[in-house]
Amino acid sequence: MRHLFLLSFLLAFFSCKQEKKQSISVPATVKKITISDAKGFSVEKLEGGITIVRITSPWPNSKTGFTYALVPKEKINTSLLDKSAYDAIVPVPVERIVATSTTHIPALEALGATDRLVGFTNTQYISSEATRKRIEKGEVQELGNNEAINTEMVLALQPDVVFGFGIDGQNKAYETLKRSGIPVVYNGDWTEGSPLGKAEWIKFFAPFFGKEEAADSIFAAIKSDYLKVKSLAKKAQNKPAVLSGALYKDVWYLPAGESWAAQFLEDANADYLWKNTKGTGSLSLSLENVLVKGQSADFWVSPSEYISYRGLKEGNPHYTQFDAFHNKKIYTFANTKGATGGLLYFELGPNRPDMILKDLVHIFHPELLPDYQPYFFKPLE
């Protein structure tokens, strides 16, 4: 009995110690940040000013998620968080960052954090005038390709965090940086399936800079504007048939029915001819298939990177068989470029879906926005 009593006492003692340890090392959740449209991340606030950012969709069809702890700098050495439970612990607010996708740039600018950017992969693709000036002044360093980022230069820059971009999580350079003590945080904004979902990733960036209130306000304004234009489009008397994409070699690529691009056409009150197809990426079709279904389409948008009717005809004479070609109803985003040739549609567009939707509504239903000047989509020359 004495041994049994002693064993029970020891078990109870160590159980209490374990429970006490857990209660200290895992601060209680204060609140979860409202994420209304994005599906790939979540943000929650813990006691002590700690923010937990969870990424559930770093790349398409990912079975891997990431969890990051953002800890106030003054508490980084006293925090009792279990470091093994997180993919990175980042002292915040961050002062020096490296970004790897042009879609990161508009979010940084909207949050007033452009001056924190010290390095970027493939800077020639950046179109933002403000960031290009910083590149020209040498304030933003060129770091090579994302898949083979120059780790020596990154280490020399000593950023507080690298906002990474990946298609499969097999970036060896990122692993090198993490082993060197530089946090790498994956951003999956490009995997979102809805226009507003992409734009809401500004709330992912915000806690790194202490800009949560600003992000909420910015996204709320974008969403409100988007929904107003969507509602306006429903008042149109007609719903024009729309074709998209173009040939690459012998394959015609166009948006699948569940894609970001198809959602824009639906919200602009247009009849996208492939709206009932499955998938969030692209469809791969033959020219004959597209001709059968899309020859009489009222409009043709996003014809790859063609910017003129002459170029389209020279690219493939069969393009002239479409009614939209004869009626001069083809519109492209390829004419809206930055100083170094980058396409603003791919840089700014994901962050400003309200602007894209206004462009499309003006094209399909000009009577609804008669004085509007399109920003991304322009008529072919």
pLDDT (tens digit, 9 = 90+) per residue, 174-206? 999 999 999 999 999 999 989 999 999 999 999
pTM, rounded to two decimals: 0.89
Average pLDDT over residues 198-216: 97
Q: Both 156 and 270 in a single domain?
A: no
Does the pLDDT value for residue 294 go beyond 50? Answer: yes
What share of the chain in percent tops pLDDT 90? 82
Query: Comparing C-alpha atoms, which of 366, 357, 346 is closest to residue 190?
Result: 346
State residue 26's pLDDT score: 60
Residue length, the chain?
381
Q: Both 213 and 305 in a single domain?
A: no
**β-pair partners for 271:** 241
State residue 25's pLDDT score: 52
Phi (first) and psi of residue 193, to 5 degrees: -95, -10
State residue 156's pLDDT score: 96
Q: What domain range includes position 134?
A: 27-222
Q: Both 151 and 185 in a single domain?
A: yes
Residue 86: inside a domain:
yes
- Residue matched to tokens 């990122």: 174
Strand order in the sheet with 282-285: 246-248, 251-255, 282-285
**β-pair partners for 272:** 242
Give whole-number Cα distances, 173 to 63, 142, 151, 180, in Å.
21, 15, 6, 11
Q: pLDDT, tens digit, for every residue of 10-63?
A: 444 444 444 433 333 566 777 899 999 999 999 999 988 999 999 999 998 888
Give whole-number Cα distances, 312 to 305, 319, 325, 326, in Å.
9, 7, 9, 12
Q: Both 246 and 178 in a single domain?
A: no
Residue 202: inside a domain:
yes
Q: Both 166 and 281 in a single domain?
A: no
DSSP 28: P
Q: pLDDT, tens digit, for every residue of 127-176?
A: 999 999 999 999 999 999 887 899 999 999 999 999 998 888 788 999 99
Average pLDDT over residues 320-334: 97
Can you give the CATH number for the domain in which 281 is found?
A: 3.40.50.1980
Report the number of distinct structural domains present in the chain: 2
Does the pLDDT value for residue 262 go beyond 90? Answer: yes
